[in-house]
């Protein structure tokens, strides 16, 4: 009897403690999600605030023109390139900083600075810095006889890729560096005794042990890269034409320039549905080491 | 265990759906007692700063008599309309007076109260026409914007007064236009003069040019850049539509796009102008790298200010847009249909429609949409006289329909690739025309 009472008390405490989480989930996850799903099936717009149910019209409308698929294609390519580069560079930087050298703290701080700048502000900064007429970088290049037009249609996509890499490599570096700090050094020492060289250690010991950390960094950056908006919107607004339109810019324009909230919600839902299957796959790999042996 | 989980998830979704169902609504507002606080939105920058001074003066004077206090909220310049869109979509009464413009008043009209009982006789007729939708006035003009050709007087004089330069220009114009032309005064340029001059003042065509590029095009995929391109379209005799049918794929439409593409691909404008808008154009003129540009009226004063433009101040002159047509739009103020204090807000709006209020606005740095106020205050801004003259004589406003705002964006999206030679002209105008027709239907 006493045991049952204790069990009930424990359950009651557990329920009580879970209330904030449930409220948070309801207000900030479930409600917006349900509201978004409901809106995706209506004609809600600035011109038609009645929110009349219109079935799958919004979804048909999204795919009727190539704009959405073009945005999806550009987003996928952009995300793949920047995340791959950021992972490789972040990993390289983490290895570099995983040793002692003079001025390490200063360089560490400087390396992290870009992620502390708001992306929209970074876009504005580079719009000024790269301006052909008043920008410091073109002036510097011209002083050594180089003339480049970084905002021309042929240069603008590589420019956006470089800016994203500049801003977000420190993020992958930070996560991987944190993982390296908890790396069991005795493994490396033992392998050294066995005659393993640096690249062998890297491939057979460091990478497998850091796998969950690498997946976490990859997952977080991939999600963020797919949602890229600020820098590109500030610099190109998705153009010329729709050349640099990401999914976020497409959805923003449909909602706030076209005023078509139903279509914007439908596009958001399609993106969500396309991304959802990847989540369990990635989460499984992030959690794989943590789950082992438990 | 599984059924419990399913039950929990189901309860969560049902609760969420019920919460969603409870949201929204909102009444059609309230007149209030005609006093109290009126909340008004503006965007930062010259127009918002000028409005703040007018509001401060009102609060310190007339507002006390009216028993009204105005609370002016400055939002981000880039996001003001997005935030207002979100407020309107939720039928919010948070704001009494919205910041609107000719190009979005049709779209916003379902959330706005008509203002037909306010005296608008002091405004430019074209400004109030641009704010009228379905025969109802939905906003009061505040700050009027149009375009000019801003050019380097010293460079043009140098060309006109040098016989060797004139011969060079004639040879270049023959090459570019297929016919030899005498260089003309910018006050009389047509679009062919604009094209030939762009070539003459560019080192890619004329290695002896005093500037690297003749002009700078504002070719970024941006709705405001459609407004400038429209001057070229209207200048060639084109229009967006006739009798509800889109006409962007007309010969005039193709010529207007081709002019941009020719200037861009021949490097008579910087390759970076693919992402240029107002600030980049201003920077190009200030740096002395270009000889002229089609630019917004607000730019002129800064270009002749020695502090802001030390290299070119005193050398910049102003002329009508080549082709003789200028887009006119007005930033404006509108009454929220869902406001809880409409009577007080209307009192304030009536005050803003007076010449006294707009004189204060001009003194604070704005460009009011009242010809008499502009003429009486030319000493404040040397462009005022030209603005008044150009809007009265050759200003036009694009068709106002519920999706005018979307049309500007759709045209920029469809044409900006062709403006910089990335997309074939015929394909771009076909796409632009289809998009516009969908919005007109």
As a whole number, mean pLDDT of residues B330-334 equals 94
> Residues with Cβ < 8 Å from A5, sequence gap 6 or more?
none
Residue in B16, B88, B409 closest to A46 by CB: B88
Is the CB of A239 inside 8 Å of chain B's CB atoms?
yes
Q: Do B300 and B436 have their domain in common? A: yes
My answer on whether B334 and B422 are in the same domain is no
Q: Which of A134, A255, A258 has the CB atom closest to B283's CB atom? A: A134
B239: CATH: 3.40.190.10
Asked if the model's pLDDT at residue B368 lies above 90, the reply is yes
A 143-172: CB under 8 A from B: 149-153, 156
Tell me the C-alpha distance between B130 and B139, whole Å.
9
Q: How many structural domains does chain B have?
A: 2
Kindly report, residue by residue over A119-142, the tens digit of the pLDDT: 989 999 999 999 988 899 999 998
Measured between beta carbons, which residues in chain A are less than 8 angstroms from residue B302?
Answer: none
Claim to verify: residue B205 and residue B299 sit in the same structural domain: yes
Tell me the nearest-neighbour CA distance from A45 into chain B, angstroms: 7
**Between A and B, how many CB-CB pairs are < 8 A?**
140
Residue entry with tokens 């023109």: A65
> What's B368's DSSP letter?
B
ipTM: 0.83
pLDDT surpassing 60 at residue B11: no
Letter string b/e over residues A157-190, b meaning 16 or more CB atoms within 10 A of that residue's CB: bebbeebbbebbbbbbbbbbbebbeeeeeeebee
| pLDDT at residue A52 tops 90 | no
Q: Which residue has the higher pLDDT, B53 or B402?
A: B53
A271: three-class secondary structure by DSSP: helix
- In this structure, the answer to whether residues B409 and B265 fall within a common structural domain is yes
Chain B residue with the nearest C-alpha to that of A132: B272
Contacts of B428 (CB under 8 A, 6+ apart): A241, B257, B414, B415, B417, B418
Question: Do B392 and B344 share a structural domain?
Answer: yes
Closest residue in B to A237 (Cα–Cα): B221
Contacts of B23 in chain A (CB under 8 A): 35
Do B353 and B414 fall within a single domain? no
Q: If 0-12 CB within 10 Å is exposed, 13-18 middle and 19+ buried, where does residue B153 land? A: middle
Is B80 a member of any domain?
yes
B13-27, B86-100, B357-371, B424-438: the lowest-pLDDT one? B13-27
Assign B429 a pLDDT band (cuts: 50, 70, 90): very high
pLDDT confidence of residue A272: 93
CB distance from A24 to chain B under 8 Å? no
- Please name the member of A34, A51, A240 whose beta carbon is closest to the beta carbon of B420: A240
- Chain A residues touching residue B222 (CB < 8 angstroms): 237, 239
Q: Tell me the chain B residues in contact with residue A256 when contact means C-beta distances shorter than 8 Å.
A: 81-82, 85
Whether residue B89 and residue A131 make contact (CB cut-off 8 A), yes or no, is no
pLDDT at A160: 97
- Collect all residues of chain A within an 8 Å Cβ-Cβ radius of residue B88: 46, 49
Across A256-265, B317-326, B409-418, least confident range: A256-265
Nearest beta carbon to residue A34 from set B13, B270, B280? B13
Q: CB distance B423–A133 less than 8 Å? A: no
List the single residue in A26, A31, A46 with the smallest CB-CB distance to B108: A46
How confident is the model over A72-98, as a mean pLDDT? Answer: 96
Contact B89 A236 (CB under 8 A): no
What is the pLDDT, as a whole number, of residue B255? 98
Compare B203 and B6 and report the one with higher pLDDT: B203
Q: Are residues B335 and B359 in the same domain?
A: yes
Residues of A in contact with B418 (CB under 8 A): 241
CB proximity A38 to B under 8 Å: yes
Is residue B294 in a domain? yes
Q: Is B276 part of any domain? A: yes
| Confidence bin at A159 (pLDDT 50/70/90) | very high
- Nearest CA among B405, B336, B324, B316 for reference residue B97: B336
**How confident is the model at residue A114, as a pLDDT?**
93
Same-domain status, B157 and B238: yes
Chain A residues closer than 8 Å to B107 by CB: 46-47, 259
Candidates A28, A150, A240: best to mutate against B (most CBs of B within 10 A) is A240
Q: Is residue B8 part of a domain?
A: no
Contact A243 B412 (CB under 8 A): no
Residue B2 domain-assigned?
no
Confidence of residue A294 (pLDDT cuts 50, 70, 90): very low
**Residue A291 predicted with pLDDT over 60:** no
B358 falls within a domain: yes
Q: What is the mean pLDDT of chain B?
A: 90
Hey, where are the domains in chain A? 65-291
Instruction: Single out the residue of B128, B27, B81, B332 nearest to residue A46, CA to CA.
Output: B81
* B63 in a structural domain: yes
Q: Are B251 and B374 part of one and the same domain? A: no
Average pLDDT of chain A to the nearest whole number: 89
Chain A closest-CA separation from residue B417 CA (Å): 4
Q: Is the pLDDT of residue A37 over 50?
A: yes
Query: pLDDT digit string (tens) for A93-109?
Result: 999 999 889 999 999 99
pLDDT of the residue at B240? 96
Residue B381, classed as helix, strand or coil, is coil
Per-residue model confidence (pLDDT) at position B298: 82
| Contact assignment for A46 to B406 by CB distance below 8 Å | no
**pLDDT tens-place string over residues B166-213:** 999 999 999 999 999 999 999 999 999 999 999 999 999 999 999 999
**pTM given for the model:** 0.84
B133 strand-pairing partners? B136
Among B78, B274, B310, pick the best mutation site for testing chain A contact (most A Cβ within 10 A).
Answer: B274
Q: How far is B51 from chain A (nearest CA, A)?
A: 25
For an interface test with A, the pick among B9, B16, B84, B404 (most A C-beta atoms closer than 10 Å) comes out as B16
Backbone angles phi, psi at A99, to 5 degrees: -155, 165
Q: Are residues B270 and B305 in the same domain?
A: yes
Query: How far is B365 from chain A, CA to nearest CA, in Å?
Result: 25
The answer to whether B402 contacts A35, with C-beta atoms less than 8 Å apart, is no
Given pLDDT bands bounded at 50, 70 and 90, which one contains residue B19? very low
B385 and B336 part of one domain:
yes
Taking CA B210 as the corner, what is the angle to CA B204 and CA B216, rounded to the nearest 5 degrees? 60
Residue of B16, B85, B420 lying closest to A259 (CB–CB): B85
In angstroms, the CA B309 to CA B288 distance is 10
Is the per-residue pLDDT at B10 higher than 60?
no
Nearest by CB: B85 against A46, A134, A235: A46
Smallest CA–CA distance from A150 into chain B, residue = B272
Structural domain of residue B310, as residue ranges?
147-326+402-440
Higher pLDDT among residues B21 and B103, named by residue: B103
pLDDT tens across B77-93, in order?
A: 767 888 898 888 888 99
Residue B214 vs residues B207, B209, B294: alpha-carbon distances, Å: 12, 9, 11
A257 touches chain B (CB under 8 A): yes
SS3 category, B142? strand
Residue B47 in contact with residue B366, Cβ under 8 Å? yes
CA–CA dist B170, B437 (Å, integer): 42
Contacts of A71 in chain B (CB under 8 A): none
Contacts of A31 in chain B (CB under 8 A): 16, 19-20
Q: Does A263 touch chain B (CB under 8 A)?
A: no
- Residues B235, B314, single domain; the answer is yes
Q: Give me the mean pLDDT over the B236-265 stretch.
A: 96
CATH number of A65-291: 1.10.3720.10
Domain-located, residue B6: no
Contacts of B86 (CB under 8 A, 6+ apart): none
Q: How far apart are CA A209 and CA A176, in angstroms?
A: 11
- Residue A46 touches chain B, beta carbons under 8 Å: yes
- List of chain B residues whose C-beta atoms are within 8 Å of the C-beta of residue A132: 270, 272, 284, 289
Measured between beta carbons, the chain B residues lying within 8 angstroms of A250 are none
**Residue A289 clears pLDDT 60, i.e. is over it:** no
Nearest to B439 by CA among B396, B405, B393, B398: B405
Q: What are the Cα distances from residue A169, in Å, to A84, A108, A111?
A: 10, 13, 9
With beta carbons less than 8 A apart as the criterion, state whether B81 and A256 touch.
Answer: yes
**A187: pLDDT confidence band, cut at 50, 70 and 90?**
confident
pLDDT score of B14:
39
CA torsion through residues B94, B97, B100, B104, sign:
positive
Q: Phi/psi at B409 (nearest 5 deg)? A: -65, -45
């Amino acid at each position: 009897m006493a045991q049952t009472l204790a069990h009930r008390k424990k359950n009651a405490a557990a329920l009580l403690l879970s209330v904030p989480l449930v409220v948070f989930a309801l207000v900030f996850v479930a409600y917006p999600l349900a509201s978004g799903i409901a809106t995706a099936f209506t004609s809600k717009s600035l011109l038609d605030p009645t929110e009349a149910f219109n079935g799958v019209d919004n979804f048909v409308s999204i795919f009727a023109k190539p704009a959405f698929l073009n945005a999806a294609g550009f987003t996928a390519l952009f995300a793949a390139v920047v995340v791959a580069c950021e992972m490789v560079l972040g990993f390289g930087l983490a290895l570099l900083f995983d040793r002692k050298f003079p001025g390490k703290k200063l360089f560490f701080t400087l390396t992290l600075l870009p992620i502390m700048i708001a992306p929209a502000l970074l876009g504005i900064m580079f719009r000024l810095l790269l301006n052909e007429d008043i920008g410091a970088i073109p002036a510097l290049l011209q002083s050594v006889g180089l003339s480049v037009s970084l905002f021309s249609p042929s240069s603008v996509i590589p420019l956006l890729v470089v800016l994203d890499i500049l801003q977000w490599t420190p993020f992958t570096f930070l996560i991987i560096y944190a993982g390296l700090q908890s790396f069991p050094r005795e493994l490396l020492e033992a392998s050294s005794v066995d005659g393993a060289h640096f690249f062998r250690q890297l491939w057979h010991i460091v990478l497998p042990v850091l796998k969950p950390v690498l997946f976490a960094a990859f997952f977080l950056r991939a999600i963020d890269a797919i949602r890229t908006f600020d820098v590109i919107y500030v610099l190109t607004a998705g153009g010329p034409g729709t050349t640099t339109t990401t999914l976020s810019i497409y959805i923003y324009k449909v909602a706030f320039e076209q005023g078509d909230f139903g279509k914007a919600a439908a596009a958001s839902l399609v993106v969500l549905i396309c991304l959802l299957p990847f989540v369990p796959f990635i989460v499984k790999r992030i959690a794989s080491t943590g789950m082992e042996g438990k | 265990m599984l059924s419990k989980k399913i039950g929990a998830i189901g309860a969560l979704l049902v609760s969420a759906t019920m919460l969603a169902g409870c949201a929204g609504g909102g009444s059609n507002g309230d007149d209030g007692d005609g006093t109290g606080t009126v909340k008004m939105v503006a965007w930062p920058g010259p127009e918002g700063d000028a409005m703040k001074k007018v509001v401060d003066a009102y609060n310190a004077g007339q507002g006390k008599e009216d028993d009204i206090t105005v609370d002016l909220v400055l939002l981000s310049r880039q996001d003001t309309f997005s935030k207002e869109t979100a407020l309107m979509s939720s039928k919010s009464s948070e704001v009494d007076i919205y910041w609107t413009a000719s190009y979005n008043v049709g779209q916003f009209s379902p959330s706005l109260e008509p203002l037909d009982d306010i005296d608008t006789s002091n405004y430019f007729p074209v400004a109030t026409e641009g704010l009228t939708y379905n025969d109802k006035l939905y906003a009061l003009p505040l700050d009027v914007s149009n375009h000019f050709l801003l050019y380097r007087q010293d460079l043009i004089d140098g060309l006109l007064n040098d016989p060797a330069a004139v011969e060079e220009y004639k040879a270049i114009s023959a090459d570019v236009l297929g016919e030899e032309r005498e260089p003309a005064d910018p006050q009389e340029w047509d679009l062919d003069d604009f094209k030939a001059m762009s070539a003459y003042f560019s080192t890619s065509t004329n290695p002896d040019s005093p500037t690297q590029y003749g002009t700078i095009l504002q070719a970024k995929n941006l709705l405001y850049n459609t407004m400038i391109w429209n001057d070229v379209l209207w200048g060639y005799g084109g229009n967006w539509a006739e009798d509800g049918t889109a006409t962007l794929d007309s010969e005039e439409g193709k010529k207007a796009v081709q002019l941009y593409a020719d200037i861009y691909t021949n490097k008579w404008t910087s390759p970076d102008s693919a992402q240029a808008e107002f600030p980049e154009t201003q920077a190009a003129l200030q740096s002395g790298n270009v000889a002229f540009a089609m630019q917004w009226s607000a730019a002129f004063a800064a270009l002749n200010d020695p502090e802001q433009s030390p290299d070119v101040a005193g050398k910049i002159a102003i002329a009508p847009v080549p082709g003789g047509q200028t887009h006119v739009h007005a930033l404006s103020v509108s009454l929220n249909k869902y406001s809880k204090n409409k009577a007080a807000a209307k009192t304030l709006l009536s005050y803003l429609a007076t010449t006294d209020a707009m004189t204060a606005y001009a003194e604070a740095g704005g460009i009011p949409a009242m010809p008499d106020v502009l003429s009486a205050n030319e000493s404040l801004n040397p462009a005022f006289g030209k603005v008044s003259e150009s809007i009265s004589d050759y200003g036009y406003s694009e068709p106002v329909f519920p999706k005018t705002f979307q049309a500007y964006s759709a045209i920029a999206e469809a044409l900006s690739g062709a403006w910089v030679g990335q997309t074939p002209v015929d394909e771009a105008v076909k796409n632009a025309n289809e998009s516009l027709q969908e919005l007109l239907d």
